[in-house]
Amino acid sequence: MNQIAFPARTLWAFVLAAALAACTAEKNPNAPPAPPATPDAGTPPAQPPPDPNKTAADNTFDQGKQIFRFDTFGDEQFWTNAIHLEQAIGGCPTCGIPTGVTPRTALAVGLKVDIDALPASVVAGVQNGSISLDDPKTTIALIGLNAVLGVKGTPNAAGTALTSLGITCAFCHSTVDNAGAAVAAGIGHRLDGWPNRDLQVGNIVNLSPDLTAVAKVLGVDAGDPTTPTVRAVLKGWAPGMFDAELFLDGKAANPNVPGTPLGSAATLIPAAFGLRGVNLHTYTGWGSITQWNAFVAVVEMHGVGNYTDLRLDDATRFPVAARADNHFGHLTPAPGQQDQVSSKLGPLEFYQLAIDAPAAPAGSFDVAASARGQALFNNAGAGGAKCATCHVPPLFTDAGWNMHTATELGIDDFQASRTPLSLSGPGGTPAPVYRTTPLRGLTAKDRFVTNPASKGRYYHDGRFATLDEVVAHYNTQMSLGLSLGDQSDIVQYLKSL
Ligand code: HEC
Ligand code: HEC
């Protein structure tokens, strides 16, 4: 570790020296004197003091960014103490895991490496082969440098194993721009808020040597330490997908859509950018950003914090969450533990709201076709595509209660039924609802995807492989009567957002 960290300090010393030299140069005594700022205006007008709220906003943004990228909320109590993922990733010869995961394998299961966290000597070493991407110890070193997105771990003194491991929000909600692709795909500059559609969450968790804690929560595989049910479910999650509701209702597959990847009930990891002005969050409108953040940090990542949600006491809908030994709607830190989540919710939400959706790169769509598509998208009259009746620009979700019934969308209500929200439908029967996806940055979701099989995929479970399929679905479902040309113009507009 020291060998790797030391050149970084040398580099900093060099940068500092250069910066100092630049400062000195500015004070060159031979330079002509600067003209007076206000030659004849007498006393310059007093600068208004900085708005303290703006200063606080800046600080909150910085805090939120750190939390989003690096905070585990104490979830090592699960990832290390309960399922021992640190042994699977770092190796543990004394517990039957001779070696850990090589960087090449880590990249192949979708983990991403932040090139800006790597000292120049490491980049050079990887390039010239003196640091091997086939050596598990390199993975340990990379984790120690905080260079693996969303993975926080502590290497032992010899750099031969990890003593702890936890995950952060960046695990699923960040990717990289592949700027280091010459070395290996999956290495580049961080892109916060971009969903990692390459990430094989299920396969990574399945590396864990002991999943009995998960089996216990779900109430399956009683007494079987190999937990075959849990492992089969995890293996069923396609890349870029995760099932946030599994730990509430124990439903592992959507019976209505056998065509979804392996019949799994997982959803695509959504973007965490472009969310300003969006009312309800998640595909099924669980709540505000901060409700969902608290839920994820405590219930999904297993951080140490408080989470209150009386809706999870509904034992019919949420048999796992409501069970007395889980009681997920009433979580508090164990005696002696400090809440590591609540104080972070403010900055975390603030930062997420600040992340803009990325603009579509020039040349990635046909400008003229997109303009025609825009007109159709916004036209709610005859011949129009009526999209903006729900995807209201510039939010591209409804301005208001942004939910619509599965019937309106013409899709099954399996996922919508896994949440507390329903409208009262005809005769009082529940009408489950989906949240109108904000469409900005739509194509950014797979811009830097390295696995071709992970490209595209739209709607919560990725049932539509391409945008053309999405538009064709609306055309049929809403009897829009759009020509094929109209449909392709709308696709170009979607690509421009
Ligand atoms: C294991 C992967 C994973 C991790 C880790 C994770 N998320 Fe998510 N996130 C998801 C998935 C999947 C969804 C969609 C859930 C749904 O709709 O049921 C989601 C949804 C969201 C949404 C809603 C986005 C929208 O379109 O409204 C936000 C916001 C969010 N996550 C923030 C976070 C934050 C903050 C953290 C860290 C505390 C975090 N997530 C950790 C996978 C993850
Ligand atoms: C009745 C409201 C409504 C109308 C009208 C509507 N949408 Fe949607 N749209 C939604 C909802 C709700 C979702 C989320 C569906 C899901 O994830 O299962 C969605 C999802 C999408 C997605 C997928 C986004 C993603 O990242 O997966 C696209 C693309 C889209 N809509 C485009 C359009 C276009 C184009 C039109 C017009 C032809 C349109 N929508 C009309 C409500 C609507």
Residues 260-274 pLDDT 10s: 554 689 999 999 999
Structure-token match 């942004």, residue found: 402
What angle is formed at CA 473 by the lines to CA 423 and CA 279, rounded to 5 degrees? Answer: 40
> Distance between CA 58 and CA 160 in Å, rounded?
40
Residue 1 pLDDT > 50, yes or no? no
Distance between CA atoms of residues 136 and 90, nearest Å: 7
Tell me, using a 6 A CB cutoff, whether residue 404 lines ligand 2: yes
88: pLDDT strictly greater than 90: yes
What is the reported pLDDT for 15?
A: 38
- Nearest alpha carbon, ligand 2 atom 40: 387
- Shortest-distance ligand to the CA of residue 283: 1
Beta-carbon contacts of 455 under 8 Å, excluding residues fewer than 6 positions away, are 197, 446, 449
Strands 187-188 and 113-114: parallel
**How many Cα atoms sit within 13 Å of 36 on the Cβ side?**
7
Q: What percent of the chain has pLDDT over 90?
A: 80
Query: What per-residue confidence (pLDDT) applies to 27?
Result: 44
**Residue 288 Cα, ligand 2 centroid: separation in angstroms?**
20
Q: State the chain's mean pLDDT as an integer.
A: 90
Q: What's the confidence (pLDDT) of residue 260?
A: 52
Angle at 274 between CA 268 and CA 277, to 5 degrees: 115
Q: State residue 2's pLDDT score.
A: 38
Q: At residue 29, does pLDDT exceed 80? A: no
Q: Over the stretch 36-46, which tens digit does the pLDDT of each residue have?
A: 555 556 777 78
- pLDDT tens, position by position, 428-457: 778 899 999 999 999 998 899 998 888 999
Query: Could you tell me what percentage of the chain is helix, strand and coil, using 3-state DSSP and rounding each to the nearest 5?
Result: 40, 10, 50
Is 72 in contact with 297 (CB distance < 8 Å)? no
- Whether this prediction's pTM lies above 0.75 is answered by yes
Model pLDDT for residues 203-214, shown as the tens digit of each residue: 999 999 999 999
pLDDT confidence of residue 37: 53
Mean pLDDT calculated for residue range 459-486: 95
Report the DSSP beta bridge partners of residue 155: 162
Does the beta carbon of 298 lie inside 6 Å of ligand 2? no
Beta carbons of 160 and 174 less than 8 angstroms apart: no
Q: Give me the pLDDT at residue 41, please.
A: 60
State the average pLDDT over residues 73-83: 97
pLDDT at position 258 is 58
pLDDT score of 25 more than 80: no
Cβ atoms of 189 and 149 within 8 Å: the answer is no
pLDDT for the residue numbered 99: 93
Instruction: Answer yes or no: is the C-beta of 387 below 6 A from any ligand 2 atom.
Output: yes
Of 379, 398, 366, the closest CA to residue 480 belongs to: 379
Query: Residues near ligand 1 with C-beta < 6 Å?
Result: 167, 169, 171-173, 201, 242, 244-245, 267, 269-270, 272, 275, 281-284, 289, 292-293, 296-297, 301, 348, 352
According to the model, what pLDDT value does residue 10 have? 38
Q: Confidence class of residue 257 from pLDDT cuts 50, 70 and 90?
A: low
Separation CA 197–CA 449 (nearest Å): 6
Which bound ligand lies closest to the C-alpha atom of 270? 1
**pLDDT in the model for residue 424:** 73
Task: Return the beta strands (E) in 64-177 as ranges.
Answer: 113-114, 151-155, 162-167, 174-176
Q: pLDDT of 145-176, one tens digit each?
A: 999 999 999 999 999 999 999 999 999 999 99
Distance of CA 315 to the CA centre of its chain: 29
> Could you read off the pLDDT of 104-149 as tens digits, one per residue?
999 999 999 999 999 999 999 988 889 999 999 999 999 999 999 9
Cis ω for the linkage preceding 426 (within 30 of 0): no
Residue nearest to atom 10 of ligand 2 (CA): 436
Give dist(CA 370, CA 377) in Å, integer.
10
CA distance 92 to 439: 45
Contacts of 410 (CB under 8 A, 6+ apart): 473, 476, 477, 478
